Chain A
């Protein structure tokens, strides 16, 4: 991680992880389970049955009031005021120069109520940026009817991901709410009672599988975790750590802040130009001028780099920061890479020269002094069969 002071905070579920024999790692200033046993087994469980994750390190910032949507439109690059109530949208917060400060999910929970979920290590920065941007927004004539509340410290987040996730969640909700679960669309959220605990249930995830994320107050997180584990009995629900979360998101071609995304890149290089609402938003937003210039100047390829997927043709995997070569010349750098447990070959995300970013392009990755062949492939590497 590039941000956050390591304070080694513990989530409300730390004791549960310790009792399960987790190995811990510092991530974004939090002490998080890396794995409980074999990370490969945890990865496979999510692809084949179900996995249970503690994501309480993620941030939660509430933006409420009649001007909440307008403030979000100003603070982020997307058009969040256009989200329907009950739906969610992936977005980015960029600096004035267009560099990415964080990627986040925005849920519209009610007409005047949005929940913004930034990454753990970035949550304090994002909360501070929101405060600063609210002041700028009001100074520029924006409405004052908006309240910000950073609830990160008091909110836990538990994810259930995989083919059996829906059955597990259905076992927790009252019969009257079953349809709300089965009808819940991807990138949508609804308030339900899970094991008698009021939660915000979202059909979102970072694994490439169907799955849910449950927002719950810290004081009831352990109770919910136990109830989910009980519902997972007979449904092969496996507690999963961040190691498998990383390999799952990589197979799904999803970027990780600190690896693929940073202040040094704009959404265009990262292949996220579609998230930037230059056309549909009429008003100004932070980063607009720089992003417009980037787009006008060759679809944001002024840096000459673009994020691509690489498939290893040998057995060895590329790793973060390994150089990408073409005819022995350095043309880019790997940002994430490892052997894909599902596909059985090495996969990597890398920034490479734009002219070498077309699928089918043959490149090499410098694996500690040895050039190994890789091929540019379309993302995602893995797509679940629906």
Chain B
């Protein structure tokens, strides 16, 4: 079963948000990474872009499909993970670590789930 990491919060659209770091860090859950299959291409928002909670801010392309990436918060993108862009397999290998996507200066949060809520909703394992 796909791992859901404790201490993070999650959007309905399977992004995770880590506010323990500043600026906050965003990635996709292992549940999403496993469902997507091998990720082959990332289209991430550019540094300085304003993203809006619940709105699309990029795309994740796997061998099988293309999925929208949704911003879990409203704010300004501070940094994108160039290593993940160069090696999208990091999203599958380490979705909560080296496969993070971008950091954001948060101005407002969208509706987010706790790790427990997200896991019980998506059949993940804490």
**Chain A contacts to B: CB under 8 angstroms:** 23, 35, 38-40, 243, 247, 315-317, 319, 338-339, 341, 367-368
Q: B97 CB to closest chain A CB, in angstroms? A: 18
Chain A residue with the shortest CB-CB distance to B38: A40
Known: A38-B92, A316-B61. A243 touches B66 (CB 8 A): no
A319 lies within 8 A of B40 (CB): no
Chain A residue with the shortest CB-CB distance to B92: A38
Q: Is B37 positioned at the interface, with any CB of A under 8 Å from its CB?
A: yes
Q: Is B121 positioned at the interface, with any CB of A under 8 Å from its CB?
A: no
B66 lies within 8 A of A247 (CB): no
Chain B residue with the shortest CB-CB distance to A35: B37
Q: Is B22 positioned at the interface, with any CB of A under 8 Å from its CB?
A: no
Q: Which residue of the partner chain, among A243, A316, A367, contacts B63 with CB atoms under 8 Å?
A: A243
A338 lies within 8 A of B66 (CB): no
A339 lies within 8 A of B37 (CB): no
Chain A residue with the shortest CB-CB distance to B64: A243
B38 — which chain A residues lie within 8 A by C-beta?
38-40
B64 — which chain A residues lie within 8 A by C-beta?
39, 243, 338
What secondary structure prevails in chain B residues at the interface with A? mixed
Q: A178 CB to closest chain B CB, in angstroms? A: 37
A367 — which chain B residues lie within 8 A by C-beta?
66
Chain A residue with the shortest CB-CB distance to B34: A23
B66 lies within 8 A of A368 (CB): yes
B41 lies within 8 A of A243 (CB): no
What secondary structure prevails in chain A residues at the interface with B? mixed
Q: A88 CB to closest chain B CB, in angstroms? A: 30
List the count of A-B residue pairs having beta carbons below 8 Å apart. 33
A243 — which chain B residues lie within 8 A by C-beta?
37, 63-64
B120 — which chain A residues lie within 8 A by C-beta?
none
Q: A151 CB to closest chain B CB, in angstroms? A: 32
Q: Is B65 positioned at the interface, with any CB of A under 8 Å from its CB?
A: yes
**What 8 additional pairs, Cβ within 8 angstroms, besides A23-B34, A39-B37?**
A35-B37, A39-B38, A39-B63, A40-B63, A243-B37, A339-B41, A339-B61, A339-B63
- Could you give 11 example pairs across A and B, Cβ below 8 Å? A23-B34, A39-B37, A39-B63, A39-B64, A40-B63, A243-B63, A243-B64, A319-B65, A338-B63, A339-B40, A341-B63
Q: Mark B48-74, 1 if CB is under 8 A from A, else 0.
A: 000000000001010111100000000
Q: B82 CB to closest chain A CB, in angstroms? A: 15
Q: Mark B27-56, 1 if CB is under 8 A from A, else 0.
A: 000000010011011000000000000000
Chain A residue with the shortest CB-CB distance to B59: A368
Tell me, in angstroms, the Cα distance from A368 to B68 when the chains sit together: 11
B65 — which chain A residues lie within 8 A by C-beta?
319
B92 — which chain A residues lie within 8 A by C-beta?
38
Tell me, in angstroms, the Cα distance from A367 to B65 when the chains sit together: 12
A315 lies within 8 A of B37 (CB): no
Known: A38-B92, A368-B66. A317 touches B61 (CB 8 A): yes
Chain B residue with the shortest CB-CB distance to A43: B63
Tell me, in angstroms, the Cα distance from A242 to B37 when the chains sit together: 12
Tell me, in angstroms, the Cα distance from A94 to B44 when the chains sit together: 47
Q: Mark B70-91, 1 if CB is under 8 A from A, else 0.
A: 0000000000000000000000
Tell me, in angstroms, the Cα distance from A39 to B63 when the chains sit together: 8
Tell me, in angstroms, the Cα distance from A315 to B41 when the chains sit together: 8
Q: A312 CB to closest chain B CB, in angstroms? A: 11
B61 — which chain A residues lie within 8 A by C-beta?
316-317, 339
